[in-house]
Structure 1
């Protein structure tokens, strides 16, 4: 009888122990349910720009897909570094996203030796959002009717041609420096505090040329003359304008871009889900049409492909920064 009771107690203990892992598993599942609270998308620039526009475009759609509130958190300053640092230091639980760009993850790291974050190790890339061709424009009174004529003028008069940019180390400057490197022309850089005053001085004829992504409306209305776009293919917003390569500079390509990141250490399953939902958003024809009108091409793709792209861009931009001689302010 005692032996039988012993067997019964052993069987009972064995059954109880078998339940423990299941309880822990259920508890872990409950604790890792995602998203479990309000999410935020860090925009490292002021409201009103392209990065802010992207955040406010994808935020509501991602919120609907995930069933969770998403807020846009503008944290401008230091060429995007303040917002990027904030996102990098956030809890890697999938509730903080960053819309980074060519500045936060390529240009600023190339300009600054002591950046508070590492663009390659402090983030997990989720998805590339955009590819933005810039537009090479001049004053419509300039006698140059195409890029070849502008380059010929620059070669014949090396001290005459000037180009504007939104500031030292900006994509606008680097895109023009790449043009100089590919063609051997000389042109004096005239940096401004932002695109608007720079474009205004090109329109006024104070500066010869500029490469910028926001010049499409002025080119359409005729206050600027568009000579070329900097991407590998023509822009849907300006289909009649050739690429720089088509216009006579083979091998030239420069695009600005944006992408979604999360802090390093975010669970891979969360990154995968975010990637899937974001790919659905950028594939929406209405979303693509709206962005194309602003000269913004939506990209999409895998997290791994975006990670490879970031590594390649880091090297390319670092070399352009070196060539340009740009220094952090």
Structure 2
């Protein structure tokens, strides 16, 4: 009788465990970059919203290094129980696979995409005292003076670098790439006149103040932050389009019900007018959509970015 009773207890324990509520403890949101940047800002915006909706704290875990690869690998190898999330981006899931031969994670196999959160147009800027007042003049200068046009970026193989490589490919403009360790020192040198041009997402404030001249935005539409600045396609490079992006991922094999719940809650966040207005002021558009649509988008982006990396000749150190 005792054996039967214990066996019965064991049988009842299995479905009880399987039906344990989620989330049952604090959720870790891995941000694979330092505190203070756009990815961190986005994480700290959606974290409290998710916490309120799910009834558990959402703790930001900044794990920077290797262009986002260190934190991304950490999330990839976490337990797929819905208590570890990754705030990934164009670098973690498109650029790094094309740029680095040996990643410690597999972007498509090790993760399940949950939702595309953003589309981020970058800004083509020059020094106001430089040789170009618009895109046509910059293109002409680059073709006539390929040894004089220099373009800065936040580093080799970064979205800023690849966006400029696409501009060169679309226009025939030439120039020399000058990589920096981040956007801030690159923009400082552009303001000082040490380089000719740059494409970057953080240059909006300086363009507004007149410290830099904005020639175009890289996305398919004009930016709400700078509505008078044309798209690069409008300004003289037909067919040009480049946007950075962010999205939420969970480790592969996370239960589908958890993925669906996260997707539903985050679609509510990106539809919030107050959240959209706050992000628009930073030149960040919120997107939303289904996990399947995000997965298809990543596959298309991976092919596009791989070709830009090939054109640029960039290689990881």
Q: Could you say whether these structures have the same fold, taking a TM-score greater than 0.5 normalized by the shorter chain as the test?
A: yes
What's the counterpart of residue 16 of structure 2?
27
What's the counterpart of residue 276 of structure 2?
288
Is the aligned partner of 1:298 residue 2:286? yes
Is the aligned partner of 1:65 residue 2:47? no
Is the aligned partner of 1:203 residue 2:191? yes
| TM alignment of 1:44-193, pairs within 5 A | 44-193=32-181
What is the CA deviation profile of residues 24-49 of structure 1, one whole-angstrom value per residue up to 9, with x for unaligned ones?
67514443x21111111000001000
Q: Which runs of 5+ in 2 are unaligned?
A: none
Q: Is the contact between residue 131 and residue 141 of structure 2 (CA under 8 Å) also seen in structure 1?
A: no
What's the counterpart of residue 3 of structure 1?
none
What's the counterpart of residue 310 of structure 2?
322
| Alignment partners' CA distance in 2, 1:21 and 1:136 | 65
**SS of residue paired to 2:301:** helix
| TM alignment of 1:1-20, pairs within 5 A | none
What's the counterpart of residue 247 of structure 1?
235
What's the counterpart of residue 255 of structure 2?
267
- How much has 1:143 moved relative to structure 2? 4.0
Give the aligned length: 312
| Alignment partners' CA distance in 2, 1:84 and 1:247 | 37
What is the CA deviation profile of residues 81-113 of structure 1, one whole-angstrom value per residue up to 9, with x for unaligned ones?
000000000000000000000111111111111
- How much has 1:60 moved relative to structure 2? 0.6
Counterpart of 2:211 (choices 201, 223, 228) is 223
The runs of 4+ residues in structure 1 deviating greater than 6 Å are 19-22
What's the counterpart of residue 182 of structure 2?
194
| Alignment partners' CA distance in 2, 1:231 and 1:259 | 18
Q: Is the contact between residue 122 and residue 244 of structure 2 (CA under 8 Å) also seen in structure 1?
A: yes
What's the counterpart of residue 234 of structure 1?
222
| Alignment partners' CA distance in 2, 1:255 and 1:113 | 24
Q: Which runs of 5+ in 1 are unaligned?
A: 1-15
Structure exhibiting the larger radius of gyration computed from Cα positions: 1
Structure 1 length-normalised TM? 0.92
Structure 2 length-normalised TM? 0.95
| Alignment partners' CA distance in 2, 1:60 and 1:271 | 18
